[in-house]
Amino acid sequence: MDKQDKQQGDKCVQFHGHECPGLAIGFKAYEAVREKKYALTALLTMVGDDKG
């Protein structure tokens, strides 16, 4: 987890009101989707489709 992820996690806890397993699972899901989006965007850029 990098500094930006830590800050995002802290913001999530502040918004949600407390740390709990459900929040951790949701945050991990967010991270996974974000990584897939970045990978897809990079792939589409390489093949010349900038709509990603």
Residue 39 resides in a domain: yes
pLDDT for the residue numbered 1? 64
Report yes or no on 8 lying in a domain.
yes
For residue 51, tell me if it sits in a domain.
no
The rounded mean pLDDT for the chain is 85
Angle (CA) 34-8-35 rounded to 5° is 15
pLDDT at 23: 94
Instruction: For residue 11, count other CB atoms closer than 10 A to its CB.
Output: 10
Q: Which residues form the domain of 42?
A: 3-46
Residue 4 is encoded by which pair of tokens?
Answer: 């930006």
The low-confidence residues of the chain, meaning pLDDT below 70, are 1, 49-52
> How much of the chain, in percent, has pLDDT values that exceed 70?
90
Q: What pLDDT, on the 0 to 100 scale, is given for residue 42?
A: 83
Residue 52 lies in a domain: no
User: Is the residue at 41 inside a domain?
Assistant: yes
